[in-house]
Chains A and B, each alone.
Chain A
Amino acid sequence: DSGVTQTPKHLITATGQRVTLRCSPRSGDLSVYWYQQSLDQGLQFLIQYYNGEERAKGNILERFSAQQFPDLHSELNLSSLELGDSALYFCASTNRANTEAFFGQGTRLTVV
């Protein structure tokens, strides 16, 4: 158990819909990173939050947004869903030295 919690584990939804994925980092970690993993693309960095503020952006679509709350949990919002958004979405938090990232178990999103 990495200490990073993600819910839900599985999500099936229709095209055009909107979903929210939730992540709680390890106790004491301030950073939350979101990654998308699809079969053909590997793990792609989407966005990072640090202590409530957006810190870095990767390959995140405009239809996607995220935020980090005062209790440090984070939510990733995916809207106007397309079939191609079907993927595993991972959240990770890092130790203070940024020498190790701890991943949650992921949310498997299926868009039908």
Chain B
Amino acid sequence: GQNIDQPTEMTATEGAIVQINCTYQTSGFNGLFWYQQHAGEAPTFLSYNVLDGLEEKGRFSSFLSRSKGYSYLLLKELQMKDSASYLCASGANSGYALNFGKGTSLLVTP
């Protein structure tokens, strides 16, 4: 598998922008995923990057640099409901199974 590293916790203010970084080992790379997970609920898909560059989807954007083994998730115009865990995952396992990081717990404050 691949080691996925991301910060454990982050705090940001409502209306602000936050960037959540993720690094991964590059061997056998097959795509980088971001998921949002509220406590006790299922992860929900946010983004998928397989090529270098920035993918924008509304308030959320995701960036990938394959040569650096690096990705980030950018959340703009933060809302209270964005308080959740954000999971970075690589699709490097056989059969496209996802290898997840431990998640970044984001707290959005008023």
Contacts known (A2-B42, A90-B43); A50 close to B95, Cβ less than 8 A: yes
Pick the interface stretch among B64-72, B73-81, B98-106: B98-106
Chain A interface residue count, CB cutoff 8 Å, equals 27
| Residue among A41, A58, A102 having the largest count of chain B Cβ atoms under 10 Å | A58
The interface residues of chain B, by DSSP majority, are classed as loop
A50, A58, A105: which contacts B42 (Cβ < 8 A)? A105
The interface residues of chain A, by DSSP majority, are classed as strand
Chain B interface residue count, CB cutoff 8 Å, equals 25
B94 touches A56 (CB 8 A): yes
B94 touches A102 (CB 8 A): no
Chain B residue nearest to A6 in the complex (CB):
B42
B42 touches A90 (CB 8 A): yes
Contacts known (A42-B102, A90-B42); A99 close to B94, Cβ less than 8 A: no
| A62 is an interface residue with CB less than 8 A from chain B | no
B31, B42, B94: which contacts A103 (Cβ < 8 A)? B42
A100 touches B44 (CB 8 A): no
A106 touches B42 (CB 8 A): yes
Residues of A within 8 A of B102 (CB): 41-42
Residues of B within 8 A of A50 (CB): 95
Q: Give the complex CA separation of A45 and B97 in angstroms.
A: 7
Q: List 29 A-B contacts (CB under 8 A).
A: A2-B42, A2-B44, A31-B95, A33-B97, A35-B100, A41-B102, A42-B100, A42-B101, A44-B100, A45-B93, A45-B98, A45-B100, A55-B94, A56-B93, A58-B93, A58-B97, A94-B96, A98-B31, A98-B91, A99-B31, A99-B48, A99-B50, A100-B33, A102-B45, A103-B43, A104-B42, A106-B41, A106-B42, A108-B40
